[in-house]
Chains A and B, each alone.
Chain A
Amino acid sequence: MKIVYTDNNATTKVADEVIEEMLPYFGELYGNPSSMHTFGDQVQKKIKQARQRVADFINADPEEIIFTSCGTESDNSAIFSAIRAFPEKKHIITSNVEHPAINNLYKELQKTEGYKVTFVPVDKKGLLDLDLLYNSISEDTAIISLMWANNETGVLFPIEKIAKQANEKHILFHTDAVQAAGKVPIDVKKIGVDMLSLSGHKIHAPKGVGVLYVKKGLKFSPFLVGGHQEDGRRGGTENSVSIIGLGKACELAKENIPIINSKVRELRDYLQAQLLDKIISSSVNGDLEQRLPNTLSIGFDAVEGESILLMLDREGICASSGSACTSGSLEPSHVLMAMEVPFKSAHGSIRFSLSHYNTKEEMDHIVTAMVPVIQKLRAMSPFWKDGKVI
C-alpha cells in the first residue's frame, strides 16, 4: 500500500541528500573528532562545516551553536542554564500550550525546587495574552520561554515582539523553535533571542540530534557535564554522523522555506477547504493567519480521534489526533483544552502536517478517505442524528 505521510510535525523523512552526506561517516570515516590525528580531524572539519551551516540557517555565529541529542535536551539545557545563572530568581514565565519536552520540566521545578511558574493562557484561537505576559514579569523572573510554533495547531507566537520586551527588561528569553524551523525564516540577530532550540528530525535530518543556540556573551552552565566537547558546554563524544546530516538538512531547509510557504501552504489550504466543504460540522483549530503553513488541526463533531486514525491507517494515511486517549485519562490534548475547544470537536480533532514531499493527489486521497470514515463513525455515534450534533 502506498503511504501518504502527513505527520511531519511528529517526525520527517530523512532527505536523500542528507543520507548521502552522512554515509561515509557511518562507514570508513569513523574517527573521533577530538583525536590528535588526521583521521579523526577530517571528521572535526566536517562537523565544523555542519556548525557553519546551522549557524547560517538561523543567522548565528558558529560559536553560538551547541549540538545536543534532541530538542528535549536543548529545551532542558536552556532552562537549567538560566536558573543556574540566576539562582536567587525563582520565577519562570511560559505559556499553557508548551510541548511536554519543557512543560514537564516546569512541573518538576515547581514540585521539587519551589519555582513559581506562570503559564500564560492562550485565547480560543491559540493566541497568547500578551498583556498578561508582560504584567507577570517581575524582579524574581529568571527566564521567559515560549514556543515559537505550536506542534498541535501550528499557531505562531509573536516571538520578535516578546523578545524585545524581555530584552528591555533584561530578562533571559528562550524560544523552542523546533516546529518553526524550516517553515518560517529564523534570524536570531534580528529577533534578539538569548537561546533557541532546534531538533533535527523535524527538518529532514535523523532523530537524536538537536541544537541549542546560545547568544554570544551569555553565561552558560552545561546540562551534560563531561569532556571538553562543544567548547565545554556539552560533554559527550559528538554524534558526528547526525550532526553532519543536520548541517546538510539546515542547508536544504533554508532553500525550501519559500516552497513551504507557497506550494505546501497551497496544499494545506486546499486540504482544509476540501475537508470543511465535504464534511459538515467540522472546524479548524487555531488562528487561520498566525499559523504554520504546513499544519492543519481540524475537529469533526461527535466522533473520536483514535477511531478516525485507525480507519485512515487502513488507507495508508498517517496523521495524528488531538486527543491523547493513552490511558483512562480521556482528556483531549492540553493544547485544545487551553483553547477551550468544545469537547464535541476536541475529541475528534486530527492533525495533518505536510512537507514538500506531499502532492495534490495525496490531498485528494485524504479527502476521499475521510468522507466515508466520518460518515461511518457518525452513523454509530449517539451524539449524531439527522445530520447534526445532539
Chain B
Amino acid sequence: MWEYTDAVKDHFLNPRNVGELEGANAIGEAGSLSCGDALKLFLKVNENERIIDATFMTFGCASAVASSSALTEIIKGMTLDEASKITNGDISDFLGGLPKAKMHCSVMGQNALKKAIADFRGVQIMEKPGQIVCECFDVTDLEIIDAVKKNGLETTEDVTDYLKAGGGCGNCLERIEEVLEAVKAKG
C-alpha cells in the first residue's frame, strides 16, 4: 500500500476546489484517459493578472487528486507571474512529500498550470523544443535532461516515476538510458 502523508490523504478525501468554475477565463489540461491520469484546471484571473479563483477536475489515483487540490490552494491569490514560478516540487512540498513513484502527479499539476497561464495570455504553447523520446507520453530529451538535473534522478525508473517517460510501451527505455548517461557524463 502507498505511504501517503496525512496531507495527501486529507486532500484526497476532502479535495478543495472541485468542479468546473463558472466564469473561468483560463483553462489548462494535462494527461489523458489512456495515461491513467488527467487534470483540467480552471482559473479566474482579474484585470491585474491575479488568480482570484481556481478549481480542478481530476481523473487519477489519490496523489493525482491531492496534487490537483494542493495546486489550486497554492495558486489562489497569486499573480500569473508568481504562479508561473510554481514547480512540481512546490506541489509535493505542500503535501509533505509524495512517494517517488507518484511524483509524475505533481508534474501533471505543473503542466496544467503552465497551459492555463498560456491560455489566459493567448499565447500558443510553442512546439516543445528538443526531440521526442517517449512517444506514449510525449516527453522530449530536453525535458528529461531538465528533470534529471533538477531532481538528481539516477535511473531510468526515476525518470519514469517523474515524467512517465518509458512507462507505456517501454520502447524508449534505452534512449532514456542514453540521455541519462549523457547528463551524468557531463556532471
B-binding residues in A (CB < 8 A): 302-307, 310-311, 314, 323, 325-332, 343-344, 347, 379-383
Q: How many A-B residue pairs have CB under 8 A?
A: 86
Which residues of chain B are near A330, meaning CB under 8 Å? Answer: 35-37, 164, 167
In the assembled complex, the CB of B139 is this many whole angstroms from the nearest CB of chain A, namely 10
Is A306 touching B62 in the complex (CB atoms < 8 A)?
yes
Inter-chain contacts of A328 with B (CB < 8 A): 101, 103-104, 159-167
For residues 26 through 61 of chain B, which have their beta carbon under 8 Å from a beta carbon of chain A?
A: 29, 33-40, 57-61
- Tell me the smallest distance from the CB of A107 to a CB of chain B, in Å: 12
Q: Which residue of B lies closest to A314 (CB)?
A: B13
Min C-beta distance of B2 to chain A, whole Å: 8
Can you name the residue of chain A whose Cβ is closest to the Cβ of B136? Answer: A331
Least distance between A28 CB and chain B CB atoms (Å): 38
Docked pose: A305 CA to B166 CA in angstroms: 21
Count of chain B residues with a beta carbon within 8 Å of a chain A beta carbon: 37
Looking across the interface, which residue of chain B has its beta carbon closest to that of A384?
Answer: B59
- A302, A303, A330, A343: most-surrounded residue (chain B CB, <10 A): A330
State the B residues within 8 Å of A (CB).
2, 12-13, 15, 18-19, 29, 33-40, 57-62, 64-65, 101, 103-104, 157, 159-168
Interface residue SS majority, chain A: loop
Report the bound CA distance from A314 to B9 in whole Å. 11
**A323 engages B33 (CB within 8 Å):** no
Q: Across the interface, do B60 and A304 meet the contact criterion of CB distance under 8 Å? A: yes
With both chains docked as a complex, state the minimum distance between the C-beta of A327 and any C-beta of chain B, in angstroms. Answer: 5
A304, B36: Cβ atoms under 8 Å? yes
Selected from B58, B160, B167, the residue in CB contact (under 8 A) with A382 is B58
Contacts of B60 in A (CB 8 A): 304, 307
Q: How far is the CB of A166 from chain B (nearest CB, A)?
A: 32
Known: A304-B37, A310-B12. A331 touches B61 (CB 8 A): no
Given contacts A304-B60, A380-B58, A381-B59, are A323 and B161 in contact (CB under 8 A)?
A: no
Give min CB distance, B134 to chain A, whole Å.
Answer: 10
Q: Out of A305, A314, A347, A382, which one reaches B40, CB within 8 Å? A: A382
